[in-house]
């Protein structure tokens, strides 16, 4: 009886554990109860989506638009060049009272960047557009072209500051791509992570400005940009970092203070799921390729590894792509050790997740007319004819005596 009772208890425990496992597995989509209507979290390096909620539904970005404005400015304005406040730019709706600009006032590029991000200055964003492109229509065209270039295909801008316009829209996913692009510009990220500063313009000296946002209270905060209009409600780009793992969080149609809690929920969801996946270590790469009938030993520039939040059993494909001109180059010049001869791509579901350079493992002289194979074949032919020549049976000579 006692044995049977223990057996029943064990069965019940097993069923309970299995039930918990399946519940945990199947409630992944419901694990986060976000207030924000639209949200997404992606890995900053690869763009891999970790979490999403209505991420491809269009909405209004408000002042998060200024991140794209900053990208365009950094591409076209040199550090020593100035942004000039025009009479038209000063007509834009004021977003702060900490600093008031006047017509003709100039800010150097980096000061303009920092001020725009800290104060979310609408008039300054407009002046940046005018300075870069000459007129607003041309600047907006540049913004939209850049959005399409980085894959933000459901985004359309009509101004550089995010003031409401029914035709000025984006998605959480597209905004994440724009933030990912901004990570290529350290000065933009630094400005987005600056809470306060003293700035100097052509007409104002050592003016103190500060960001009133609460995003700086997050211990994982690296950079961010808030936005708000009556129509869009609160919007947010926040780049967070923990233990070398960097994620991009986007919230649209949110509210204060709920969006702060939403960011905490996204961080708590994403960071524990991220791990380093190693496909091939640099020292374990042994692949050979054939160039002009010669076998070339290769190596890779670094480990084929990356951060991911995908299932550990996810299948990956490794593709080797040789440079098109490799055979011609090898024929003329040979190859030196560690020469780049192509690249290696790791793909998941057809998407590239990481790459490494394909290098030569040693030097190779350019091929000659008489290759080793040619010499071996020639040697065999010579030996064959030598054997035939010296082993050919000789004819016996027949002497005929002449009659006298």
Residue 89 is part of a domain; what is its CATH number? 3.40.710.10
User: Which tens digit of pLDDT belongs to each residue from 218-233?
Assistant: 999 999 999 999 999 9
Is the residue at 391 inside a domain?
no
Is the residue at 367 inside a domain?
no
DSSP type of residue 91? G
**Could you confirm whether 66 is annotated as catalytic?**
yes
> In terms of domains, do 257 and 303 share one?
no
Is the residue at 379 inside a domain?
no
Is the residue at 53 inside a domain?
yes
> In terms of domains, do 93 and 223 share one?
yes
> In terms of domains, do 83 and 189 share one?
yes
> In terms of domains, do 309 and 184 share one?
no
User: Which tens digit of pLDDT belongs to each residue from 62-121?
Assistant: 999 999 999 999 999 999 999 999 999 999 999 888 999 999 999 999 999 999 999 999
Q: Which structural domain range is residue 327 located in?
A: 278-360
Domain boundary among 344, 360, 376: 360
Q: Give CA separation, 64 vs 90, 196, 227, 232, in Å.
A: 20, 19, 5, 11
Contact 32, 51 (CB under 8 A): yes
> In terms of domains, do 174 and 238 share one?
yes
> In terms of domains, do 233 and 284 share one?
no
Q: Does 225 belong to an annotated binding site? A: yes
Single pTM value for the model: 0.81
Higher-confidence residue of 20 and 302: namely: 302
> In terms of domains, do 225 and 312 share one?
no
What is the pLDDT confidence band of residue 395, given thresholds at 50, 70 and 90?
A: low
Average pLDDT (277-305) is: 93
User: Annotated catalytic residue: which of 36, 38, 53, 66?
Assistant: 66
User: Annotated catalytic residue: which of 120, 232, 254, 348?
Assistant: 120
**Could you confirm whether 63 is annotated as catalytic?**
yes
**Could you confirm whether 203 is annotated as catalytic?**
no
Is the residue at 384 inside a domain?
no
Instruction: Determine the angle formed by the axes of helices 66-76 and 122-133, rounding to 10 degrees.
Output: 30
Mean pLDDT (the chain) is 89
> In terms of domains, do 266 and 302 share one?
no
pLDDT exceeds 50 at position 26? no
Q: Give CA separation, 162 vs 73, 90, 165, 371, in Å.
A: 16, 16, 8, 67
User: Annotated catalytic residue: which of 36, 38, 63, 246?
Assistant: 63
> In terms of domains, do 344 and 242 share one?
no
> In terms of domains, do 169 and 298 share one?
no
């Amino acid at each position: 009886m006692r044995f049977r009772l223990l057996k029943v208890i064990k069965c019940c425990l097993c069923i309970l554990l299995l039930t918990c496992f399946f519940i945990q597995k199947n409630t992944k989509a419901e694990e986060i109860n976000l207030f924000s209507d639209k949200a997404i979290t992606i890995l900053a390096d690869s763009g891999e989506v970790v979490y999403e909620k209505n991420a491809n539904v269009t909405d209004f970005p408000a002042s998060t638009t200024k991140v794209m404005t900053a990208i365009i400015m950094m591409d076209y304005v040199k550090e020593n060049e100035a942004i000039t406040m025009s009479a038209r730019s000063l007509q834009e709706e004021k977003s702060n009272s900490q600093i008031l600009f006047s017509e003709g006032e100039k800010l150097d590029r980096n000061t303009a960047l920092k001020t725009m991000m800290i104060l979310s200055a609408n008039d300054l964003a407009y002046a940046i557009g005018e300075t870069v492109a000459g007129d607003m229509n041309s600047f907006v065209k540049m913004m939209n072209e850049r959005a399409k270039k980085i894959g933000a295909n459901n985004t359309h801008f009509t101004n550089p500051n995010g003031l409401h316009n029914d035709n000025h829209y984006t998605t959480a996913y597209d905004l994440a791509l724009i933030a990912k692009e901004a990570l290529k510009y350290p000065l933009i990220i630094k400005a987005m992570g600056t809470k306060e500063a003293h700035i100097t313009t052509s007409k104002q000296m050592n003016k103190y400005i500060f960001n009133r946002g609460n995003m700086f209270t997050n211990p994982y905060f690296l950079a961010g940009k808030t936005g708000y209009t009556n129509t869009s409600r609160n919007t947010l780009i926040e780049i967070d970092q923990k233990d070398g793992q960097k994620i991009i969080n986007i919230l649209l149609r949110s509210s204060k203070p709920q969006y702060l809690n939403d960011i905490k929920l996204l961080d708590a969801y994403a960071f524990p799921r991220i791990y380093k996946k190693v496909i091939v270590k640099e020292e374990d790469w042994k692949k050979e390729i054939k160039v002009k009938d010669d076998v070339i030993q290769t190596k890779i520039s670094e480990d084929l590894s990356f951060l991911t939040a995908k299932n550990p059993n996810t299948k990956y494909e490794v593709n080797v792509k040789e440079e098109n001109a490799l055979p011609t180059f090898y024929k003329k010049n040979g190859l030196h050790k560690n020469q780049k001869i192509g690249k290696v791509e790791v793909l998941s579901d057809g998407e590239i997740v990481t790459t490494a350079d394909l290098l030569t493992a040693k030097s190779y002289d350019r091929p000659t007319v008489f290759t080793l194979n040619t010499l071996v074949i020639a040697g065999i032919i010579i030996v064959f004819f030598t054997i035939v020549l010296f082993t050919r049976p000789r004819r016996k000579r027949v002497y005929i005596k002449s009659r006298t």
